[in-house]
Amino acid sequence: MKGLNKVMLIGNLGKDPEVQTLEKNIKVAKFSLATTESFKDDKGQIHTLTDWHSIVLWRGLAELAEKYLHKGSTIYIEGKNKTRAFEDKQGIKRYVTEIIGEQVLMLDKKES
């Protein structure tokens, strides 16, 4: 271990995961996750603030996402921040930060 890059989130999926199957049958799932925070302003009024996170899951976790996660699901996810460069339609270099999930825990009560 040479450094630490850890992200831990509890929140809800904004949409159903988008799952792709790559060569060798490796799957990737992508979705955005909302985390909500509430805080008091100077006047004691409670406000709510939502952050959106771009989540990427690989292999077994992508399969779990495909099977069990959907819009609105509440999950705990642990992973790492990765910023990668890509070119947009105009050929301009842009950056996006994604969270590569390493552990996922489903937090919805089973509706039996």
Partner DNA sequence: TTTT
Binding interface with a copy of itself (CB under 8 A): 1-11, 34-38, 48, 51-53, 74, 76, 80-83, 92, 94-97, 99, 103-105, 107-109
Is residue 20 within 8 A of residue 27, CB to CB? The reply is: yes
Half-sphere exposure of 46 (CA within 13 A, CB side): 3
Q: What is the smallest separation between the CB atom of 38 and DNA, expressed in angstroms?
A: 8
The angle subtended at Cα 9 by Cα 11 and Cα 57, nearest 5°, is 90
Half-sphere exposure of 90 (CA within 13 A, CB side): 3
Size of the site for DNA (CB under 7 A): 17
Task: Compute, in degrees rounded to 10, the torsion defined by CA atoms 70, 71, 74, 76.
Answer: 70
Nearer to DNA by Cβ, of 10 and 26: the residue is 10
47 contacts DNA (rule: CB under 7 A)? no
Q: What is the smallest separation between the CB atom of 52 and DNA, expressed in angstroms?
A: 4
Per-residue interface string for the shown chain with DNA, residues 50-89, x marking contact by CB under 7 A: x-x------------------xx-x---------------
Which positions ≥6 away from 81 have C-beta within 8 Å?
5, 7, 97, 98, 99
Residues that bind DNA in the complex, under the rule CB under 7 A? 2, 11-15, 32, 34, 36, 48, 50, 52, 71-72, 74, 109-110
